[in-house]
Copies of this chain bind each other. A is one copy, B any other.
Amino acid sequence: MTYARLGVGMVGYSFMGAVHAHAWNTAPRFFTLPLHPELTLLAGRNAEAVTAAAARFGFAETTTDWRTMLTRDDVDLVDVCTPGDTHAEIAIAALEAGKHVLCEKPLANSVAEAEAMAAAAASAAEHGVRAMVGFTYRRVPAIQLARQLVAEGALGQIRHVRADYLQDWLSDPSAPLSWRLDKSKAGSGALGDIGAHVIDLAQFITGEQITAVTGMLDTFVAERPIAASAAGLSATAGEGMGPVTVDDSAAFLARLSGGGNGVFTATRFAQGRKNAIRIEINGSRGSLAFDFEDMNVLHVYDAEEVAERAGFRRIVVTEPGHPFVAAWWPPGHGLGYEHGFTHQAVDLVTALAEGSQPTPSFADGLAVQRVLDAVERSAATGTWLAVSGTGQAATDPSTRKEVHSPA
């Protein structure tokens, strides 16, 4: 099968749909791709809205039934940009139909769904059909550089990961209910929506697994006004308030497979923090720090430098030798949020042309899902829990004393 073109069918067209479509449009203009992505088909339930979105983003056709694309020969890849409760159904059906799949994160709303998806991906891979999950922040150049540095050993043995994902859009108790606050649709709240990103980033950058956790979930505002537009649809029309059934904030302590520890926070109640993804990693040889509010910069500390000259180095990650950057602008002309999606498209297309497994795979997505699940269950029991699939013994993992002999 030669791929002169790559027909893309997309399901969903709101925030994630827009940024994915922009990536598909932009990737071939700045990168030399082995296949040419074409926006073949856009699926959505509302015929009028899906038609408008397709016109805006350049899709050739539309459908109100995503299953249509399973039988279209000109659709090679299904890009799943819907809420989490539909990921498993769509992605598994697509893989079984022989379509490559790019699925937004979190992979699913439960471990069971994610396991089924990972199994489907494994089966499909035997036939050269590939699946990828959209943890897009991995492809911010500064994050790629962070991964490179850790892989080169620049940090030595990892001792600490501290990672926060801070937003504030729910701080106001009069902010209305939405599907994101409904557990049946969203699976969880801050935990799965944004916590999933920092879990994946921590595992990606360190190359380690989170093996055990103890978590804490809070719902600060337990009832919210039902939006006027939604009220007409509600069984309880007239009452005006509805329950929030997910967490507003999540935090957890973690064990890492390499012997270090982690401290994680995800919240939508950090007033003044709009999309602050903050990661600091401390190892035996050095440290690194990143804040998405200053996304073109990575701070790196090398403990082997002379003490009087050592300090966190502020690397502006816009040099041509930095990952993905040569395709763009001269040094110092920074990139934005959406570039990670374009880079994701580039790597996915390249892997498909090469017949290799794109990353993060559905197995990587499942690994994150298992951490989310362990956090949620540990918060309910108040105890540490091993993360399934990591080989961590279920016995008490909260304290640890280990001999690291001097190097």
Interface residue ranges, A against B (CB under 8 Å): 15, 18-19, 21-22, 25-26, 28-30, 56-58, 145, 159-160, 162, 164, 167-169, 171-174, 214-225, 249, 251-253, 259, 261, 263, 265, 267, 269-276, 280, 282-287, 292-297, 299-301, 303, 307-316, 318-319, 321-322, 329-339, 378-384, 396-407
Contacts and interface: CB of A to CB of B under 8 A. Distances in A.
| Most chain B CB inside 10 Å of its own CB: which residue of A252, A293, A407 | A293
Nearest to A395: B382
Contacts of A380: 398-399
Contacts of A272: 282, 286-287, 301, 303, 310-312
Given A222-B404, A398-B216, A398-B378, A307 B335 contact: no
A309 B275 CA distance: 17
B28 A22 contact: no
A311 B302 CA distance: 12
Contacts of A379: 398-399
A258 to B, nearest CB: 11
Given A18-B30, A271-B287, A329-B338, 13 more contacts: A159-B218, A168-B282, A174-B407, A214-B214, A218-B399, A222-B401, A222-B403, A270-B280, A270-B282, A271-B286, A308-B321, A312-B314, A314-B314
A164 B282 CA distance: 13
A292 to B, nearest CB: 8
B25 A318 contact: no
B15 A28 contact: no
A265 B278 CA distance: 15
Contact of A334 (B220, B312, B336, B396): B336
A305 to B, nearest CB: 8
A263 B219 CA distance: 16
B159 A249 contact: yes
28 contacts: A15-B330, A22-B29, A22-B30, A29-B58, A159-B269, A160-B265, A160-B270, A172-B303, A173-B284, A225-B406, A251-B253, A269-B282, A270-B287, A272-B312, A276-B332, A293-B316, A293-B332, A293-B334, A294-B294, A299-B311, A300-B309, A300-B311, A329-B338, A334-B337, A379-B399, A380-B398, A381-B398, A382-B399
A217 to B, nearest CB: 5
A311 B315 contact: yes
This chain's copy number in the assembly: 4
B173 A405 contact: yes
Nearest to A58: B29
A382 B339 contact: no
Contacts of A215: 253, 398
Contacts of A30: 18, 22
A277 B57 CA distance: 33
A225 B280 CA distance: 29
A19 B312 CA distance: 29
Given A265-B162, A307-B321, A334-B293, A284 B171 contact: yes
Contacts of A329: 15, 19, 337-338
A209 to B, nearest CB: 17
A18 B30 CA distance: 9
B384 A396 contact: no
